[in-house]
Amino acid sequence: MPRTPLVAGNWKMHKTVSEALQLVEVLLPRLEAVSGVESLLCPPSTALMPLSAILDKSRIALGAQNLFWESEGAFTGELSASMVAEFCQYVIIGHSERRQIFGETNDEVNRKILAAIAVGLMPVLCVGESLAENEAGRAAEIITGQLQAALKDVALSGGGQLVIAYEPIWAIGTGKAATPEDIDTLLRNVVRPTLAGLFGEQLSQEVRVLYGGSVNPGNAADFFGQPEIDGALVGGASLVAEDFVAITQAASG
């Protein structure tokens, strides 16, 4: 079953609303012109409402970078899944920066995934090992553990409800991308079988699995040429219109 490639831009804590509007003005017509690929923009929360008004009738999807699992209440500074779902189709959950800087645990990531799916948001679940774990030969064990913990008690009615982003931490923002062949092998031997164990073989084949970590216009085609890599979660290069468009074009084949 062919999986439509997804190229997602994680803007992180970049762009005021006016800067976001400027970037989208350039991106919108150019991304719309690329066929066979789904594009997803994940700006800071302040830009979600204005961008949703612009992207509403377009083929470009909008995503948040985080949410909180409670539905409402005294949780200063947080956004619930339904607040995010007012503007977005997707939400990034469990990014390594949230895990490392904000101490997010696998259990918290699981609660966020459950909250997202409950309101019909599609989570982009990030998993990945650190450099030390990679060098100790523990990548498979870490990734399997993260997937099983994050997806505990998750029930899917279709594989399209979930996206996985495999992002080795040592490749994020470092310019040091993993090799496409190694990523493909890891997705085939570790990520896909773990998903099959959780959701069954058929659903595991429908879930899109992205690679993330120093993807740029120069290396994107090599990643997208691998059968198990269904797209990319792009950080730095998603802030530059030319680069994000070029990466999206590479995913269209």
All residues at 6 or more sequence positions from 4 whose CB lies less than 8 Å from its CB, including other chains:
36, 37, 38, 208, 230
120 binds ligand PGA, rule: CB under 6 A: no
236 binds ligand PGA, rule: CB under 6 A: yes
Minimum distance, C-beta of residue 228 to ligand PGA, in the bound complex (Å):
18
Minimum distance, C-beta of residue 197 to ligand PGA, in the bound complex (Å):
26
Residues 142 and 103: their CA atoms lie apart, in Å, by 17
214 binds ligand PGA, rule: CB under 6 A: yes
Active-site residue set? 95, 167
178 binds ligand PGA, rule: CB under 6 A: no
Give the H/E segment covering residue 139: helix 139-150
Give the C-alpha distances (Å, rounded to integers) separating 238 from 5, 19, 78, 165, 181.
Answer: 16, 13, 25, 15, 23
248 binds ligand PGA, rule: CB under 6 A: no
- Of 215 and 250, nearer to ligand PGA (C-beta) is 215
Where would I find the beta strands (DSSP E) of the chain? 6-10, 38-42, 60-64, 90-93, 122-127, 163-166, 208-212, 231-234
Residues 20 and 8: their CA atoms lie apart, in Å, by 15
Q: Which residues pair with 8 in a beta bridge?
A: 40, 233
Minimum distance, C-beta of residue 81 to ligand PGA, in the bound complex (Å):
21
Determine the interface stretch with ligand PGA among 47-55, 75-83, 154-162, 212-220 (rule: CB under 6 A). 212-220
161 binds ligand PGA, rule: CB under 6 A: no
Where would I find the beta strands (DSSP E) of 115-189? 122-127, 163-166
Size of site (CB under 6 A) for ligand PGA: 13
10 binds ligand PGA, rule: CB under 6 A: yes
Minimum distance, C-beta of residue 11 to ligand PGA, in the bound complex (Å):
10
Minimum distance, C-beta of residue 14 to ligand PGA, in the bound complex (Å):
11
Residues 72 and 118: their CA atoms lie apart, in Å, by 14
233 binds ligand PGA, rule: CB under 6 A: yes
Name the residues that contact ligand PGA, by CB under 6 A.
Answer: 10, 167, 172-173, 212-215, 233-237
